[in-house]
Amino acid sequence: MTHDTLKNLEIFSSLSQLELSRVRLLMKRNEVPGNWILFREGDVGRLMYIVLSGTVAISILSSDGEEVEVSRVGEGSFFGEMSILEKDVRSATCKTVDDCLLLSLDAEGFSRLMLKEPAAAIKIMQQMLNTSTSRLQKTGAFLSDMVKWGENARIRAVTDDFTGLYNRRFFDETLESSIGDALRKGNPMSLVILDLDRFGTLNAEYGEAAGDEVILAVVPAIESAFGKKDILSRYGGDEFAFILPGRSGKEALECCRKAGEAIRTLDILKGRKGSFKNITASIGISVCPENGSTSEALLDKADKALYAAKEAGRNRVELYVAGDKK
């Protein structure tokens, strides 16, 4: 690991060359495979980690013992710092999503740094504080829910109560970090918006209870078409939104076509009186960075692609094409 590698990390950005040299000697380089548990909630912690490449998922336990993912961190991020500052037990479980290159610093090493290079240690702690403050500001609503609702908020803050998919808040927060991760790594990332066709009419003909049954039946059909790394959320009502890290437009098209076919084969309305022969969905896709590098741009392009799918007769998938005026 070079001085430039460390200097480019926000946590060490204010250190001098000499201070970086001292810190470099204390860091350990770790190549960690995907789906590897770094530590579990409640473990005694002695290491903090910094992500050089890859993604780490952070989850916490619900009151019934279920693990609920609350965030993901990528390149340049750090986590587990409280274990070297206060020797606290771990407050969350951290697991690699894909192959990761991590730097680690143990509590003993940081204590030595404080003794020999107190100025450098203070600078690092200041960066930790700045980052923690920023995290609190960005996730203030989430933390308020945690305080208000207690243990049950751990689930409700990130998932949709009705479907069990991620909710819109988690989607919006994760989209920003997923875009940044894709741009840093030079990897594609696809954004998908799926809307059930003529759902308002379905509700009117069959009743809202039947509409609820349809939404619940659609969820496993959607899940069957995507992978573990894909982030599936209910965006609102009968609309769903997905983040597909590492997937190109072509790969996203394939997944979405499978989802559309799985939805079409549902027989939830079979034997009921009404005009619907089956359930269908219209799907729009945008891709980062081809169609934009901000959440606003990608959502806009995916929405335009969704509109094009509906205009073309519904029950289809459309990939946004740059320059398309639809």
C-alpha to C-alpha distance for 258 and 253, rounded to whole angstroms: 9
Question: What pLDDT score was predicted for residue 274?
Answer: 87
Q: How far is CA 313 from CA 152, 163, 306, 309, in A?
A: 42, 27, 11, 7
Amino acid sitting at position 131: T
Question: What pLDDT score was predicted for residue 294?
Answer: 94
Question: What pLDDT score was predicted for residue 99?
Answer: 94
Question: What pLDDT score was predicted for residue 326?
Answer: 45
Question: What pLDDT score was predicted for residue 87?
Answer: 66
C-alpha to C-alpha distance for 7 and 326, rounded to whole angstroms: 45
3-156: CATH topology is Jelly Rolls (2.60.120)
C-alpha to C-alpha distance for 18 and 31, rounded to whole angstroms: 26
Return the domain boundaries, the chain.
3-156, 168-319
Question: What pLDDT score was predicted for residue 1?
Answer: 59
The CATH code of the domain at 168-319 is 3.30.70.270
Identify the DSSP state of 135. Answer: H
Question: What pLDDT score was predicted for residue 2?
Answer: 66
Question: What pLDDT score was predicted for residue 146?
Answer: 45
- pLDDT < 50 positions in the chain: 142-151, 153-154, 325-326
